[in-house]
């Protein structure tokens, strides 16, 4: 009997020892294994089951967002952070370029040059290397050589800079009363300007020679009521944001009326106070609506596609992807990056149109599509 007890105890001890060894091995393997992959939240419009078309990339609010940037800054701001010292005072227009962005600031009286590759912030400068004090820089554009054009509404002047931001020349014209929108037609070597006081589109050579105009005040075809901006498609067709008529008018390169779209109201595809327009080479038209606190997307025929955004005040330090407080300028670059000035939040938002090349480099993984709860009722898509 004692012998049986001894055998049983030895077997039990052996089992305990084996269990302990197995457990130790499992713990050791677990400790050596890499941690589970953390799910990355990405912000898309529209949400599944619709096919995502636009992704929110990030924002520029302070100098640290240029000098540091990255995913951590976005996460910190979404979760909430102390309100940083704003980089902008009264931002108005934006020009997106590869590795840099330029922003006109009416409050500072300057044009900021945000160099992302060098993580630097500077200003457009004159020939002596000093920052140029503009009176009211309202819009800017770029030609196919990378030269930068800035319209100053109060000076009734156009300033031209090298791709690096050094002044080349400037010109004034007695034809200009109140320039507010600017585009460059490199193929035809000309500038197109919207003049809000003349209620017309004015055409100049790149050196400043006046070439003509079209439009007058009214509500008919080819007539304007406080036009604020314009842009061109790859064929040179002219898209004029006819703000107080709550519409976009489209003209051929010679200024002949083609078609119009838009209406006043709160329905999808309508405008409350349209402020800026950008035309993408991928076939989309982007229009910011200041009073609706969003931007609206159309195809080149004027068919409504999507509304993105809603009212959000970031004074608490919390940034909401898609949240705006009276957006102003919009621009889209050759790669499909969309830049939007968030006026009263004094910041700049960066979105990306999901091109084939972008999706190959940044594929959407299962579970990544996310929309902040505050904006879920604003995810409108046609």
Do 295 and 154 sit in the same domain of this protein? yes
Do 189 and 338 sit in the same domain of this protein? yes
Do 1 and 129 sit in the same domain of this protein? no
Do 113 and 14 sit in the same domain of this protein? no
Give average pLDDT by consecutive 10-residue segment, the chain, 382 residues.
Answer: 46 46 44 51 85 94 82 54 78 96 98 94 94 96 98 97 97 96 98 98 98 98 98 98 99 98 96 98 98 98 96 86 96 98 97 97 83 56 45
Q: For residues 319 and 208, what is the distance between their CA atoms, to the nearest angstrom?
A: 42
Please give the DSSP secondary-structure letter assigned to residue 232.
E
Q: What are phi and psi of 55, to 5 degrees?
A: -120, 140
Contact call for residues 55 and 42 (beta carbons, < 8 A)? yes
Please give the torsion angle defined by the CA atoms of residues 217, 223, 228 and 233, in that order, rounded to the nearest 10 degrees: -160
Instruction: Tell me the CA distances in angstroms from 42 to 155, 322, 341, one per residue in order.
Output: 43, 12, 21
Do 13 and 96 sit in the same domain of this protein? no
Do 220 and 176 sit in the same domain of this protein? yes
CA nearest neighbour of 168 among 154, 148, 138: 148
The contacts of residue 347 (CB under 8 Å, 6+ apart) are: 59, 60, 61, 86, 87, 88, 91, 314, 319
Pairing of strands 223-224, 216-217: parallel
Q: Is the peptide bond before 339 cis (omega within 30 degrees of 0)?
A: no
User: Which pTM does this prediction carry?
Assistant: 0.86
For the chain, the domain total comes to 2
Q: For residues 374 and 371, what is the distance between their CA atoms, to the nearest angstrom?
A: 8
Pairing of strands 91-97, 100-105: antiparallel
Do 145 and 287 sit in the same domain of this protein? yes
Do 156 and 216 sit in the same domain of this protein? yes
CA nearest neighbour of 229 among 272, 173, 183: 183
Please give the DSSP secondary-structure letter assigned to residue 166.
B
Q: For residues 115 and 209, what is the distance between their CA atoms, to the nearest angstrom?
A: 32
Do 280 and 366 sit in the same domain of this protein? yes
Do 3 and 46 sit in the same domain of this protein? no
CATH of the domain at 343: 2.120.10.30
Q: Which domain holds residue 11?
A: 1-33
Structure tokens at 313: 């005040």
State the pLDDT at residue 152.
Answer: 98
Q: Per residue in 52-97, pLDDT tens?
A: 999 999 999 999 899 876 554 555 555 555 556 789 999 999 999 9
How many angstroms separate the first and last alpha carbons of the chain?
85
Q: What are phi and psi of 206, to 5 degrees?
A: -65, -20
Do 237 and 315 sit in the same domain of this protein? yes
Do 94 and 3 sit in the same domain of this protein? no
């Amino acid at each position: 009997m004692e012998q049986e007890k001894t055998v049983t105890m030895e077997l039990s001890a052996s089992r305990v020892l084996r269990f302990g060894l197995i457990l130790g091995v499992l713990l050791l393997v677990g400790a050596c294994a890499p941690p589970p992959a953390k799910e990355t939240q990405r912000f898309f419009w529209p949400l599944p089951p619709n096919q995502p078309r636009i992704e929110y990339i990030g924002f520029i609010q302070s100098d640290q967002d240029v000098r540091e940037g990255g995913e951590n800054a976005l996460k910190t701001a979404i979760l909430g952070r102390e309100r940083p010292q704003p980089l902008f005072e009264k931002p108005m227009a934006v020009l997106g370029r590869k590795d840099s962005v330029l922003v006109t600031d009416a409050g500072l009286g300057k044009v900021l040059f945000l160099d992302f590759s060098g993580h630097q912030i500077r200003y457009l400068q004159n020939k002596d290397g000093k920052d140029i004090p503009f009176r009211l820089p309202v819009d800017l554009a770029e030609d196919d050589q990378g030269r930068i054009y800035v319209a100053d509404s109060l000076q009734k002047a156009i300033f031209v800079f090298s791709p690096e931001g050094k002044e080349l020349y400037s010109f004034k014209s007695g034809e200009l009363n109140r320039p507010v929108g600017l585009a460059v037609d490199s193929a035809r070597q000309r500038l197109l300007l919207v003049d809000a006081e003349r209620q017309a589109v004015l055409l100049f050579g790149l050196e400043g020679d006046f070439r003509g105009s079209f439009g007058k005040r009214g509500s008919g075809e080819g007539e304007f009521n406080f036009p604020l901006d314009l842009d061109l498609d790859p064929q040179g067709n002219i898209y004029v944001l006819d703000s107080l008529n709550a519409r976009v008018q489209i003209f051929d390169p010679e200024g002949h009326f083609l078609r119009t779209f838009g209406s006043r109201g709160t329905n999808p595809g309508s405008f409350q106070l349209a402020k800026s327009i950008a035309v993408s080479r991928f076939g989309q038209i982007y229009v910011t609506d200041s009073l609706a606190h969003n931007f609206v997307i159309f195809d080149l025929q004027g068919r409504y596609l999507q509304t993105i955004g809603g009212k959000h005040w970031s004074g608490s330090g919390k940034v909401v992807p898609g949240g705006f407080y009276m957006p102003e300028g919009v621009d889209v670059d050759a790669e499909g990056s969309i830049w939007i000035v968030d006026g009263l939040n004094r910041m700049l938002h960066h979105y990306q149109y999901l091109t084939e090349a972008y999706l190959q480099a940044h594929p959407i993984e299962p579970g990544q599509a996310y929309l902040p709860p505050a904006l879920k009722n604003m995810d409108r898509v046609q």
